[in-house]
Homo-oligomer: A and B are copies of this chain.
Amino acid sequence: MEGVDHLAHERNKTEFDVDAMKIVWAGSRHAFEVSDRMARLVASDPAFQKDNRTRLGRKELFKNTLRKAAHAWKRILDLRLTEEEAGRLRTFVDEPAFTDLHWGMFVPAIKGQGTDEQQQKWLPLAYKMQIIGCYAQTELGHGSNVQGLETTATFDPETDEFVIHSPTLTSCKWWPGGLGKISTHAVVYARLLTNGQEHGVHGFIVQLRSMDDHMPLPGITIGDIGMKFGNGAYNTMDNGVLKFDHVRIPRNQMLMRVLQVTREGKCVQSNVPRQLIYGTMVFVRQSIVADASVALSRAVCIATRYSAVRRQFGSQDGGVETQVIDYKTQQNRLFPLLASAYAFRFVGEWLKWLYTDVTQRLQANDFSTLPEAHACTAGLKSLTTTATADAIEECRKLCGGHGYLCASGLPELFAVYVPACTYEGDNIVLLLQVARFLVKTVSQLGSGKKPVGTTAYLGRVQDLLQCRCDVQTAEDWLKPSVVLEAFEARSARMCVARAQNLSKFENPEDGFAELSADLVEAAVAHCQLIVVSKFIDKLQQDIPGNGVKQQLQNLCYIYALNLLHNYLGDFLSTGCITPKQASLANDQLRSLYSQIRPNAIALVDAFNYTDHYLGSVLGRYDGNVYPKLYEEAWKDPLNDSVVPDGYHEYVRPMLKQQLRNARL
């Protein structure tokens, strides 16, 4: 961040305290300081350089990732980093690696599903990385539907062992990260068979490779599943395939916190509530929502800065062209994404609270809020990841042609982010779960069951079915109560209408299948309401810093009114607002864009991303884009020689009309 600042004129326009906004974005001064320190640590360490990533072949790329993972671990040990610091450091290294699964899935699986004894045995090994683990659930033929898994774990009472087996090709484990080349162990999910009976799918700790020479153990076939989307992206990860041929493991390697298999092969349910696993899902999904705000804000930061640097058209007399950020079409695409980044940040923050709340209730055996919390996190995971993936690609397009260069950072950001739409629950499948919950909630309203949490508004359904929006001027749209009511009324009316349509079917399941696309729309409306309402809640808090709250208010209304515009069909068809009111909302939106415009650069500076983490020539803090793009180009391997490999064999014979005799 040294040298000339080509964006200084932009930064001088700022109307709020950027440092205060940085704290708001980070969540707390402490969180800001840890992140800032770790980001700088990584950025200043040449071992973590990543700008050559898209130029490496697969093997080189993978080896380089192993080096970085080892280096990161060494730094964590050397500097005695806390768990929080270590997590932030790994984030800023910004390269998918086997360690993500080890820390993010393997360790939590043992913690969540292992007995105390099992935890005592395995966790210390994992914490020291004396073993490296992965999470082997999905199979070649089975993704979303865990109950459809084919791998079997058959108890053999003679030897007190489970026999893990892949009975078909489609039962091969397929996709687990860290599996293909690195993990020594895995938590493997398989159908439990004992005494000739099936007992559902459970997790088993299976050693995969020898601790001596890293070779797969007998009966185990493992490999990498091949190239994935993008140049670097997830190709730094060894997503793997795993086939078992009657592999035996001791009985005590089944994770038995919930269900135990006795020496005789009997299944005994423990007194640990099964609902605990939903608590884990809430945890994983809230972290996905938090990640969405990070990925989205990176893309927005790049597109916003480059939109201020880039000039096109608008000069009549050969003078300086117009900054593209000054075009309303650019603002209309970019600023709602900037607003979404903040919106997702705050809803993610709230989800973190929700997780602790749910956890405390579970420990007190209170399961009452769990279905609502589960639906809410499922829906928000879906909403935020879909929006973020689309937004990254939109940001890339907003950078014009240069966004297509890997040097822009955006192709890689997209390719590495987009699997979030599919993993941990396909986004459409998740919305169907939300819809199911909403329909159930609506159907129980008559019975006096009071909806809780994010569905509480459905308790006022009679009011919401009748209310009329009283907006008469564009400024009227700047009232939280007006916006909230419009979103609540839209969602409530859609839920009720869907529930009514469903009730026309004799078999509710047939109706659910037939109307599923409509139901998904109601779920989306509900989830958008959650994001809007949590943003509004945030604004009720005391937010220090000169002008900070004003900016956040503008962003909140941009987020809400842009949604209103994009989903206008919902609002109009349910009669929540009139076309005239929609048009006023649009006028207000344009005015908000003008208010945000001078603060746009500062609003992305508040994310506090280092140039290293951003990894984008277009998004450089100093705006010095073109000389650096030029410099970057020459690093391509094709530029190693002036005359390219292949010229003499293939191009020259063409030019010299000697192709007929050429060997190709």
Q: A residues 90-131 with Cβ under 8 Å of B?
A: 128-131
The answer to whether A175 has its CB under 8 Å from any CB of chain B is: yes
Bound-state CA distance A643–B238 (Å) is 12
Q: A54-B227, A145-B313 are in contact. Are A432 and B655 (CB under 8 A)?
A: no
Q: A140-B626, A143-B312 are in contact. Are A66 and B655 (CB under 8 A)?
A: no
The answer to whether A659 has its CB under 8 Å from any CB of chain B is: yes
The answer to whether A639 has its CB under 8 Å from any CB of chain B is: yes
Nearest CB to that of A432 among chain B residues? B329
> Which secondary structure dominates where chain A touches chain B?
helix
The answer to whether A41 has its CB under 8 Å from any CB of chain B is: no
Q: A229-B406, A642-B215, A649-B67 are in contact. Are A329 and B520 (CB under 8 A)?
A: yes
The answer to whether A650 has its CB under 8 Å from any CB of chain B is: yes
Bound-state CA distance A471–B148 (Å) is 45
The answer to whether A638 has its CB under 8 Å from any CB of chain B is: yes
What are the residues of chain B within 8 A of A214 when measuring CB–CB?
643, 647, 651-652
The answer to whether A216 has its CB under 8 Å from any CB of chain B is: yes
B406, A422: Cβ atoms closer than 8 Å = no
The answer to whether A453 has its CB under 8 Å from any CB of chain B is: no
A647, B66: Cβ atoms closer than 8 Å = yes
The stretch that binds B, out of A288-296, A484-492, A543-551, A629-637, is A629-637
B148, A328: Cβ atoms closer than 8 Å = no
The answer to whether A449 has its CB under 8 Å from any CB of chain B is: no
A69, B644: Cβ atoms closer than 8 Å = no
Against B, the Cβ 8 Å flags (1 = close, 0 = not) of A649-663 are: 111111101011010
A313, B579: Cβ atoms closer than 8 Å = no
- Within 8 Å by CB of A650, from B69, B516, B640, lies B69
What are the residues of chain B within 8 A of A172 when measuring CB–CB?
630
Bound-state CA distance A633–B169 (Å) is 13
The answer to whether A81 has its CB under 8 Å from any CB of chain B is: no
Bound-state CA distance A215–B644 (Å) is 10
B664, A169: Cβ atoms closer than 8 Å = no
A150 vs chain B, min Cβ distance (A)? 10
Against B, the Cβ 8 Å flags (1 = close, 0 = not) of A566-594 are: 11111111110001001100100010000
What are the residues of chain B within 8 A of A74 when measuring CB–CB?
659-660, 662, 664
Interface magnitude class on chain A: 35 or more
What are the residues of chain B within 8 A of A337 when measuring CB–CB?
none
- Within 8 Å by CB of A227, from B231, B515, B654, lies B231
The answer to whether A218 has its CB under 8 Å from any CB of chain B is: no
What are the residues of chain B within 8 A of A422 when measuring CB–CB?
397, 400-401, 403-404
The answer to whether A451 has its CB under 8 Å from any CB of chain B is: no
Nearest CB to that of A514 among chain B residues? B328
Known contacts A77-B660, A214-B651, A328-B516; can you find 10 more A-B pairs with CB under 8 A?
A55-B58, A57-B57, A59-B638, A66-B649, A129-B655, A132-B654, A215-B643, A234-B404, A403-B422, A574-B579
Would you mind naming 28 contact pairs between A and B with Cβ atoms under 8 Å apart? A58-B636, A58-B637, A66-B649, A71-B664, A73-B654, A130-B657, A132-B654, A140-B626, A169-B627, A180-B638, A211-B655, A214-B651, A224-B638, A225-B633, A226-B406, A229-B230, A328-B514, A329-B432, A329-B517, A332-B516, A393-B418, A404-B422, A565-B569, A567-B569, A568-B570, A569-B571, A572-B573, A573-B579
